[in-house]
Amino acid sequence: MVDMIRFKVGGGGARQDKPLEETLPPQLRDQFVGARTAARQDAGRYGRLKPYVAAFMLVGDYREAAGLSAAKPDSTVLKLAKAHRVPVRPVAEYKVASVIKTASPMSQAESLACLQDAVDQVQWENDQSRAVAAAWAAGDLKAVRAGYPPSPLERCLQQVPNVAVVERGTEDSTRAIAAALARPGKAVAIVDMNFLLRPNGVLDRLKAQGATITVPPG
């Protein structure tokens, strides 16, 4: 079984001199307040964090509040694996601390754009994620692809110099699944759908390597 890639927020270089909300343009501030309210967080949660750091936290906080946290499938699958004595192996672990350190030279405009991307991501997930989840549960991959555009926050991740987190995650996930397919037996993989479904994502790369991709009937 291949566990999902995990992201952790931490490390230095994450804070600024003034409280975050005092530094935001009025429209973005209003949108951010709405998004953090949906995430059930107050202003103190993000304090003096730089906008792009708050961006990563905001999306995670919203998913936790909405019951969409990656920890839910993780923990459920881990319990099932443990009960059946199935070994679990994480693909990789990328700490956002390294992203923060590398992204310190990011301009204020780029940092604010990252926060805007996060706000847009929260809004999209609030509006569409349930329908996409239902399509995924039914094996309707076409509907999932149609309703699951590239994450707005992916643009922020791709701006981070020398990190390319999304590309690394996609490549590491593809490599791990291909290795599992080459071994006898069966394997289960938990993969972020941004890695799985993006153009030239995990499914496309596995298919290019000769894997057969099928969905449940119905």
* Angle at CA of residue 189, ends 78 and 55, nearest 5°: 85
Domain containing residue 107: 2-208
Rg over CA atoms, the chain: 18
C-alpha torsion sign, points 214, 131, 76, 99 = positive
Listed residue (113, 112, 115, 104) closest to 13, CA to CA: 104
Q: 126 exposed, middle or buried (CB, 10 Å; 0-12, 13-18, 19+)?
A: middle
User: What total number of domains does the chain contain?
Assistant: 1
- Summarised one tens digit per residue, pLDDT across range 184-209 is 988 888 887 778 888 899 999 999 99
The reply to whether 216 falls in a domain is: no
Whether 66 is covered by a domain: the verdict is: yes
Torsion of CA 49, 156, 176, 71, to 10 degrees: 40
Is 61 a member of any domain?
A: yes
Q: Say if 96 falls within a structural domain.
A: yes
CA distances from residue 4 to 111, 143, 164 in whole angstroms, order as listed: 27, 23, 17
Q: Is residue 132 part of a domain?
A: yes
Residue 215 lies in a domain: no
**217 in a structural domain:** no
Q: Is residue 46 part of a domain?
A: yes
Q: Is the pTM of this model over 0.85?
A: no
Residue ranges for the chain with pLDDT beneath 50: 1-12, 162-163
Query: Which token pair is 23?
Result: 């530094």
